[in-house]
Every structure is written in structure tokens, then in C-alpha cells.
Amino acid sequence: MDTINKSFTATFKQIESDGIFTGEFEALASTFGNVDRVGDVMAKSAFDNAITKAKESGRMPKLARQHNLDRLPAVMTDIYKTDEGLIIRGRFLDTQLGKDTRLEVLGGAIQDMSVGFILKDYEIEDGKRVIKDLDLIEVSFVTVPANPEAQIISAKGQKMTVREFEHTLKGAGFSNKESTTIASICNKAGYFDRDDQSSQKNRDDLEGLSELLEQRIKTLKGG
């Protein structure tokens, strides 16, 4: 049977971390009850068998990028569901693809997740296909969603790097040149090497600085 892909728009935020491991994240990979762009609905039972299978076998579905299973940016470490939808936990691999994907997640360039599955059972209700059961093959970081409700809940890691701060500034609307210049000034001022900060405090301070700069620019421009 063919694999079906269902995508969901994601929201990213930091969670508190001691910086021991650099690439953990949590995501709402699929939501229950809402109608996607092709008229499908995920029932609350849709992932039950997939979760049980993963837990009992110890083999988690793959974590991919753009549904490409040849090279993977991350590994899944846990899977469960809430009333809202399917939750996955994972960590980015220490490979170039893993590092790039993590940076794009933290910088806001990637905002979507997508589940790839084989359909096992469904019902037609009010003209909509309600998916009751499926075989979950993989979950992907994607650029174009089919469903606007999934969320990447958190991504945690070490203290923010200069490059990550540049991505944050670009996400706030600064140009490439402005982002590079501001990040360079902050680097020379020691923002990225302070020993008296936890990873979360470091990230909160730098993200707060980005927001402050954005607001100041808008004020100067009369926005």
C-alpha cells in the first residue's frame, strides 16, 4: 500500500536545559479532530496501535526531512498521545544534516511537521475521511504543511551560538548584513561566553535582545 503524508504547521519555543545535550526537542506531530486541506480528519484512535507497536518493540518510527529516508537528521526517543494529538520526542544527530535542521528549527526557517503512514482503517463522516487506524512509518520536518495545527513544542540545547543568534535576528526581520553585524557585536561583547548563565538564561537574554532591537527599529521607523 502507498504511504500517505499529512503535514502540520509547527510552533517552536525553548525549554529549560542545563546544556548537557545539544539537540533534544518535542513536537505535536499530528492533531486530532481538525480537518486538513484535503478533507481528512485524524481520530483519537488513529495512532494507538502505532504507539503500542513502537513501545513494545522498542523501534521508533523514523525522523526524516522532507520524507527522505535515505539521510536522517534526528532520531525519535519517545512517542505518546494527549487529548490534543500525537506527541513525539527526539534528538538531532551530530551530522551536518542534523545540525542544519536544528539551526533551521531554532531560527524559525522550518515550522512544519508531517507524518508518513499507511492507512489501515477509516470511515466517511459528513463527507470527510476520518482516519481510525494507521501504520506510522516516519515523521518529517517539512516546509509546506497540509494541516495548520501541529506544533513543535520545544527544542533545547547548549547556549545559543553566534550563527543561531543570526538566524533569530533574521526571523525578527533583520537583513542578512544587519543580523551578521549585530551578532558580531554581541560576540565581541561576550554574550556567547558568559559562565554565569544557564543555557536557558543565555537563550532568553539573546532572544529578548532580538525582540528589543526589533521594537526599537520599528519605533525609529515610526512603525
Flag whether pLDDT at 38 surpasses 60.
yes
Q: Which amino acid belongs to residue 3?
A: T
pLDDT category at 138 given cuts 50, 70, 90 is very high
The residue with cell 561566553 is 193
Higher local confidence (pLDDT), 55 or 7: 55
The one-letter code for the residue type at 45 is S
Across the range 27-41, mean pLDDT stands at: 83
* Residue 5 one-letter amino acid: N
Look at residue 14 in the predicted model and tell me its pLDDT: 42
Better-predicted residue by pLDDT, 221 or 29 = 29
Longest pairwise C-alpha distance within the chain: 61
For the chain, domain boundaries: 4-156, 162-221
CA 134, CA 95: separation in Å to the nearest integer?
A: 31
The confidence band for 42, taking pLDDT boundaries of 50, 70 and 90, is very high
Q: Which residue has the cell 482503517?
A: 121
Burial class (CB in 10 A: 0-12, 13-18, 19+), 59: exposed
pLDDT at 191: 66
- Grid look-up 535576528 returns 169
